Amino acid sequence: MSILDRFRLDGKVALVTGASRGIGRASALALAESGADVVLAARRPGPLEEAAAEVTKLGRKALAVPTDTNDAAACDALVTRALETFGRVDVLVNNAGGTAPLTALALSDAELEQAFRFNVVSGFRLARALAPHMKNNGYGSVINMSSAMSHLVDSGFVAYGTTKAALDHMTRLLAAEWAPHLRVNAISAGATVTDALEAFMSMDELRDAMIARHPLKRLGSPEDIAAAVLYLASPASAWVTGKVFEIDGGAVGSTWPIPIPSGL
């Protein structure tokens, strides 16, 4: 087997949440290009079907399942549809998540609990449901999409950063508990140009300020993150589990360019 063959996913099935755009869409296409059939989940049916069509153009099967991962029943239904359609899921990419900046004094208990549901609980629920099937099929890789803010600090990110830090350690704990039957890793993604980030980067000076905080002097692309997803999904990373990969342009401090007063 050549080294490039170890990145192939022929005969495998991947499930990607948040797959209609950004990192999720790029990851779904990367996995399909490497040979996997793909189950795509996201809340918006239109863009989700468009992403699924791109998978089929690559010669792979695609199943689009409109899903709100905040809804436990919807997550259960997603797993059921995936297994009924393909009979297996070998790779789970827990990409759906996110929490808008909000200072601690403005953060309600309900908002913090919602951040945990979106960024931690939903991914756990999918991983827990699929782990036995992965073991039985003899292949399993779970990839959790974390954030550089899980280990960096800045005002306004207590909910987002705390929940992503929890996701990082959940990754390590699940990896230890489920080894050697399947692997669990995470990607700590830095500032990546997605629709969510573009909504904040409406002014050139803000974008320039963010770029200047990266040693590599550019923001990330969804494909930068998708390349790491492919590595962790494939046999190329067969000796890797319980790790959090920092894909962030070399950033060692917060790259957020907008000061957010604490309110104190």
Cα separation, 194 vs 65, in Å, equals: 21
**Please, are residues 246 and 189 in contact by the beta-carbon 8 Å criterion?**
no
| Pick from 73, 75, 28, 77: nearest CA to 50 | 28
Kindly state the tokens that stand for 182.
């399947």
Kindly state the tokens that stand for 112.
């913090």
Element of type H or E holding 94: strand 91-94
Among 7, 118, 157, 160, the active-site one is: 160
Q: Is 139 a catalytic residue?
A: no
Reduced 3-state DSSP string for 159-204:
HHHHHHHHHHHHHHHHHHHHCCCCEEEEEEECCECCHHHHCCCCCH
Judging by beta carbons within 10 Å of its beta carbon (0-12, 13-18, 19+), is residue 194 exposed, middle or buried? buried
Query: Which residues are annotated as catalytic?
Result: 160
